[in-house]
Amino acid sequence: MSGFRELLGIEVDKTVEGEARLRFEAGDAHLNPSGTVHGGAVATLVDTAMGEAVATTADGQTPVTVEIKVNYLEPGRPGVLIATARVHKQGKRFTVVEAEVVQEDGGDLITFATGTFTTVG
């Protein structure tokens, strides 16, 4: 599969039912002018992790983002970021997901997010 995830270098590390863990190595190309990881790169990591978590429960359908709220708690630094997403509540039409992103080096929690997804197809 190719696409935006691959363009950024986001890799699926592990999935189990209702959960996904992804890795992203933030380098110079992913930084903002202040030298920290751009919020858009972190939001993409969160969105991708949440979609992967929903996919584990979607019976072959494709997850689609309805909305996401991202709370940036600490600035991300260059290096590996780990996103873990968990399905919080799955309904007939919508699934609510939570995710967090930690800096692998040091384990700092840099982002907490919630999202709503639906599935198509």
Residue 2 has pLDDT above 80, yes or no: no
Residue 86: closest CA among 63, 113, 105, 107: 113
**Pairing mode, strands 109-120 and 62-72:** antiparallel
Number of domains the chain is built from: 1
**96-112 tens-digit pLDDT:** 999 999 999 999 999 99
Task: Give the domain extent around 15.
Answer: 4-120
Query: Which pLDDT score is estimated for 104?
Result: 97
pTM over cut 0.85: yes
In order of 37, 56, 57, 80, the CA distances from 24 in angstroms are 11, 20, 23, 5
Query: Which pLDDT score is estimated for 7?
Result: 84
**40-96 tens-digit pLDDT:** 999 999 999 999 999 999 998 999 999 999 999 999 999 999 999 999 999 999 999
CA distance 63 to 25: 24
CATH, residue 65: 3.10.129.10
**Helical H segments across 9-114, by residue range:** 39-55
**11-50 tens-digit pLDDT:** 999 999 999 999 999 999 999 999 999 999 999 999 999 9
CB of 41 within 8 A of CB of 78?
no
